[in-house]
Amino acid sequence: MMQLLGNPASPYVRKVRVVLEETGQADEVERIDVATSPIKSAPEVTAAHATKKIPALIRPDGCTLYDSRVITRFLDARAGGTLYRENRVWEVLTLEATGDGILDAAVLMVYESRCRPEDKQDHGWVDAQWGKIDNALSALEARWMSHLSGPLDAGQIAVGCALGYLDFRHPGREWRKGHGALDDWFAVFSQRAAMTATAPTD
Ligand code: BEZ
């Protein structure tokens, strides 16, 4: 059986779990949750992922896969799914990169406060990360709302997990302010069974 190395707080792992749910493969993967951090990796993570990150998908009949985008594409192909439709693949991949870019900035903000002593934290740098997120939210509203409202794909899943992570770790930043269309979209998307089943926990 395949094994997914992960953690219930990780938004990258959540993307994989949402794809497992949406493609009907959740029972085909054993979830192994590990406590890991950028400073101190769990030994299982060090062994499975070259740069010591989660998620990693350990397969009995092939190489271990990472990162989350490789895993989600593999799982969709394995299921004969439609999350990376060929006729829109460049749009899907760009939307997915936008969701992941929001996540990268949001996670770096968390690490800055969690992994560095208070007097070494750079608040200007943290605010600049939020500036990237705010710009991405505006870009989504300006250019992607029609795509977001179309048939389910991996780009939508990445954006949904990114917005869920902003609620989880950065509620004080109030991302909904000035982004009403995304707020409306996420109010519906976040009610999907795959999203409620994978809500992040510490
Ligand atoms: C978090 O606790 O926010 C987190 C955990 C794993 C990966 C990224 C973020």
pLDDT per residue as tens digits for the range 92-120:
999 999 999 999 999 999 999 999 999 99
Q: How far apart are CA 164 and CA 186, in angstroms?
A: 9
How far is 139 from 61, CA to CA, in rounded Å? Answer: 41
Mean pLDDT value of segment 30-58: 95
Q: How far is CA 191 from the centre of its chain?
A: 17
For residues 162 and 168, give the distance between their C-alpha atoms in angstroms, rounded to a whole number: 10
Q: Where are the domains of the chain?
A: 2-79, 86-192
Where on the phi/psi map is residue 38: left (φ > 0), alpha (ψ -120 to 50), or beta? Answer: alpha
Ligand 1 atom 2, closest CA: 9
Residue 36 has pLDDT above 90, yes or no: no
Whether 49 contacts 57, CB under 8 Å: no
What mean pLDDT comes out for the span 22-29? 98
- CATH code of the domain occupying 86-192: 1.20.1050.10
Among the listed ranges 10-24, 89-103, 107-121, 128-142, which one has the minimum average pLDDT value?
A: 107-121
Test site for ligand 1: of 110, 115, 166, 201, most ligand atoms within 8 A of the Cβ: 110
| Residue 38 banded pLDDT, cuts 50, 70, 90 | confident
Q: Cβ(108) to ligand 1 under 6 A?
A: no
Distance CA 160, CA 164 (A): 6
Site to substitute for ligand 1 among 4, 10, 34, most atoms within 8 A of C-beta: 10
Instruction: Please tell us whether the domain made up of 2-79 is placed in CATH 3.40.30.10.
Output: yes
Report whether 36 contacts 7 (CB < 8 A).
yes
Task: State residue 112's pLDDT score.
Answer: 94
For CA atoms 165, 132, 138, 82, the dihedral sign is negative
